[in-house]
Chain A
Amino acid sequence: MKRMMTAALLSALLAAAPAAAQDAKTTKITDKPLELTIHMHFRDKYVWNDDWPVAKELNRLTGIKLKNVASKATTLSREAFNLLMASGNLPDIVAGNELRHDFVRYGMEGAFQPLNKLIDQHAPNLKRFLAENETVRKAITAPDGNIYWVPYIPDGKYARGWFIRYDWLEKLGLQPPQTVDELYTVLKAFRERDPNGNGQKDEVPLFIREPDSELQRLVVLWDGRSSGSDAAHDFYIDNGKVRHPYSGDNYRTGIRNIAKWYAEGLIDKEVYTRRARAREALLGANQGGMTYDWFASTASYNTSLKDKVPGMKFLAIAPPASASGKRINENRRARLRPDGWAITVANKNPVETIKLFDFYFTPQGRLLSNFGVEGQHYDMVDGKPRYKPEILSAKAPVNAQMWDIGAQIPIGFWQDYEYERQWTDENALKGIELYEKGNYLIDEFLGVSMTTDERQIFDRHMPNIQTFMIEQMQAWILGSRDVDKDWETYNAQLKKLGLDQVLAVMQKAYDRQYR
């Protein structure tokens, strides 16, 4: 009787996860249960949780259980990591976001195990991925030639794009701007010809929600650059040479024109203080005409403001051609996040651990880390994962729901853009398609890892240089100073602050890593 009940229970359990049950045979890493400790405090509020459905499924599929040792007491992930390193009491695995340079630095100091051999011998899927993505392998390699961490690999190409009020264009009888000159004409018309029809000159032709990185992005329209990566003010690579975007003549031309547009009221007068609420406020008040922002969230205002601003059509347009006729979209999704995980020297089971890391690069591992548990969060439809309707229709966004079950978290996993496509606004997908078709993507700078000596030089000079650059940039854009008058002293001051030395160490690190 008892045996029968157990059997019934077992079969009921198996019925709940029919497809996955078979997988477990092929995905088992260890037959006798193995528990590894993990320190993972991420995005300032989450820690690894062994009760996550995804963590339980991971345990079932691989036989490895990860036990969290990170304290929830702090609300700063950086602090949690620092405390861990300072305590010297290392767990088996350390994971989290924004840890790239720490993995490399403390790896070279002896806190983390070099993974090169382990990957070579025990991680065929990860090995294949790194062989196929040479730049990623180079980007994660430390100055001593070792790899100390496995990164979070995002998927998808485009992040931000140009959006314009199509209905305003139609009302004023204008065409979507194709060049920077046409863009100027359109913005001018938005300013002068009262497209919202309230009789007041209250239109804000171009607004920017994230001015620290996106306002100067406009210099791309005059063939300048604003950043080489998805971080603001980053270096970029020009024919194998490391350069800083905030120097050079195209940057000057760009800033001169941004200042002109600002002075003429084409750019939001309050661009540096309105910030996060700019988009919601200006679209909601029927005053904002154009922006450069994330596809999915920006397109969603067409739906959320439907009743407040009737007839609003805020749609993506292709990047206008620059002064020299180039159409590029400087911003893109990074191919690699500074997040991931690493094996510490305290780990007695490095082989099993690297096999676990490898699991996340197998098809089953990707399904689990992207979509959650089959049958619970998604179903396979025609061989493709499809979120359950209750997940797609829930009030919380899908990514937040995934974080709550332990998927899409910053460990070394390989994201699948399909996860996002399923809940992205239709207008946003159309915009992304437009950009895919035009292929406006440019190559990105994936960053360098420096030796202690190089980092010392960098740290001594760069904070000042960046402070000075941004200070000047704002003064020029706001019109309190004149870029053309300042240009010579600006460059002289950059030299004095040590930009050449910084570029030299960057170049050295870049050549070592990517050549």
Chain B
Amino acid sequence: MADAALDRESGGGSVRIMDGVIATPELATPPAFSSTGPGYDFRKAVRTLLSDMRRDWQLYVLLAPMIIWFVVFLYTPMYGLQIAFKQYSLFRGIEGSPWIGFDNFVALFSNEYFLRAVKNTLLISFYSLVFAFPVPIVLALMFNEIHHQGFRRIAQTITYLPHFISVVIIAGLVVSFLSPTTGIVNIILDRLGFEKIYFLTIPEYFRPIFIGSNIWKEAGFDSIVYLAAIAGINPALYESARMDGASRLQMIRYITLPSLLPVIMIMLIIRVGQLIEVNFEYIILLYQPATFETADVISTFIYRAGLQNNQYALGTAADLFNAVVALVLVVGANWLSRRYSQHSVW
């Protein structure tokens, strides 16, 4: 089972640390993170941490690049978030630009096109969650049921391929397929006796096209993580189920899916955190003013309103808003998941 595998892994890890702990006399002092009670001694905690670091320095060296990366690329730039509250000038710099309070936010939220972009972003993300999120899971289950190895490999490779194609080319393919005169879709429509449709200029079609082509592009690649989880399921479970006379569908229902659940929940929480982000380049490549009504998302709005006119403060304000919403969504999703499925990221 997948969480059995996970358990074994983390169990292995803790055993190793225990070995180390046993070998050292500091075992008597409780670990720093658990001593937040009334008797919490900061200096003692620091001392413990330092001795921990000396003892397990190899582990900390391994951790260091990631921490440096976070500090340099994610935490340091946070200093710049203050320009959301300033009338920012590149030349005057962050310090030299005057404070203007919430003006940038007021400008954003009194803007009906920004609100439309927020709505479109959430709708596109929500529909993706509903329609695109389950596809890789289903795909992984289907791959798992293919027993002919050669056929399975070919099928998998074919579904991965689109992931490696640049979005620019994907957009070009979509435009060609949907072309009203020479596109395959319209030729089929025509043969079946329907009217030809200029899909990419009709707002109602934008979301299905966007989400549909994204599924085609990413579902195969996204299924890898589920396939890996399936590979970790203990074969003994299937064997005993087969002895009990379970059908293949029943095995999927009662063994594979429950074993996959932790991975699914984690992927879902991550996905919810990205609800507010939509693939910006792909939208820019596919949308037209005629489809702004459904296609204009926060990032494309900022691109047109902010960056094209060098309004960095406005762009930062929108980014900050994005970040806050994303944080709320992730914490919320994690809380719900912990509450109802006992699986969570933290």
Interface residues of A (CB under 8 A from B): 82, 85-86, 88, 102, 105-106, 109-111, 269-270, 272-274, 459-460, 463-464, 467-468, 470-471, 473-475, 478, 480
Contact = CB atoms under 8 A, between A and B. Distances in A.
A270 B198 contact: yes
Interface in B279-317: 288-290, 292-293, 296, 304-305, 308-311
A83 to B, nearest CB: 9
B92 interface: yes
Interface stretch (B174-182, B209-217, B251-259, B338-346): B174-182
A-side interface mostly: helix
Given A269-B181, A272-B200, A85 B91 contact: yes
A480 B293 CA distance: 13
B290 A474 contact: yes
A473 B200 CA distance: 16
A88 B289 contact: no
Given A270-B179, A273-B200, A459-B309, A470 B91 contact: no
A133 B175 CA distance: 47
Contact of A463 (B90, B202, B304): B304
Contacts of A105: 89
22 contacts: A86-B90, A86-B91, A86-B93, A88-B91, A105-B89, A109-B92, A111-B91, A270-B198, A273-B179, A273-B201, A273-B288, A459-B305, A460-B107, A463-B304, A463-B308, A463-B309, A464-B113, A467-B292, A467-B304, A474-B201, A474-B289, A475-B290
Interface in B241-295: 288-290, 292-293
Given A109-B92, A475-B290, 8 more contacts: A82-B90, A102-B310, A105-B89, A109-B91, A459-B305, A463-B309, A464-B305, A468-B113
B111 interface: yes
Contacts of B91: 85-86, 88, 106, 109-111
Contacts of A106: 89-91
A324 B61 CA distance: 79
Interface string B72-99: 0000000000000000011111000000
Nearest to A269: B180
Nearest to B174: A273
Given A82-B90, A467-B113, A478-B201, A270 B289 contact: no
Contacts of A475: 290
Contacts of B311: 459
Contacts of A473: 289
Given A85-B91, A86-B90, A459-B309, A272 B304 contact: no
Contacts of B92: 109
A471 B175 contact: no
Nearest to B112: A464
B302 to A, nearest CB: 10
Interface string B176-205: 000111000000000000000010111000
A88 B93 CA distance: 8
B181 to A, nearest CB: 6
B101 to A, nearest CB: 15
Interface of B: 89-93, 107, 111-113, 175, 179-181, 198, 200-202, 288-290, 292-293, 296, 304-305, 308-311
B318 to A, nearest CB: 13
A423 B321 CA distance: 53
A236 to B, nearest CB: 20
Contacts of B201: 272-273, 474, 478, 480
Contacts of B310: 102
A-B complex: 9 closest residue pairs judged by Cβ atoms: A474-B290, A463-B305, A85-B90, A470-B289, A471-B289, A106-B91, A474-B289, A111-B91, A471-B292
A470 B293 CA distance: 12
B198 A269 contact: yes
A471 B290 contact: yes
A86 B91 CA distance: 6
B309 A270 contact: no
A217 to B, nearest CB: 16
Nearest to B179: A270
B202 to A, nearest CB: 7
A110 B89 CA distance: 12
A88 B107 CA distance: 29
Contacts of A470: 289
Nearest to B182: A270
Given A88-B93, A459-B311, A478-B201, A471 B293 contact: yes
Contact of B289 (A110, A111, A467): A467
Nearest to A212: B289
B157 to A, nearest CB: 31
A272 B290 contact: yes
A480 to B, nearest CB: 7
Nearest to B204: A480
B90 A270 contact: no
A274 B178 CA distance: 11
A7 to B, nearest CB: 52
A490 B89 CA distance: 35
Contact of A270 (B180, B292, B293): B180
A274 to B, nearest CB: 8
B201 to A, nearest CB: 5
A460 B201 CA distance: 28
A459 B181 CA distance: 40
B181 A273 contact: no
Nearest to A88: B93
A478 B90 contact: no
Contacts of A272: 200-201, 288, 290
A459 B309 CA distance: 7
A507 B198 CA distance: 40
Contacts of A270: 179-181, 198
A471 B288 CA distance: 8
Nearest to B196: A269
Given A106-B90, A270-B180, A464 B111 contact: yes
B8 to A, nearest CB: 46
Nearest to B306: A463
A328 B276 CA distance: 48
A109 B98 CA distance: 13
Contacts of A86: 90-91, 93
Contacts of B288: 272-273, 474
A243 B170 CA distance: 40
B27 to A, nearest CB: 51
Contacts of B290: 272, 471, 474-475, 478, 480
A468 B116 CA distance: 12
Contacts of B90: 82, 85-86, 106
Interface centre among A273, A475, A478 (most CB of B within 10 A): A273
Contacts of B180: 269-270
A105 B87 CA distance: 14
B288 to A, nearest CB: 5
A321 B197 CA distance: 34
Contacts of A467: 113, 289, 292, 296, 304
Contacts of A102: 310
A463 B181 CA distance: 33
Contacts of A85: 90-91
A475 B175 CA distance: 19
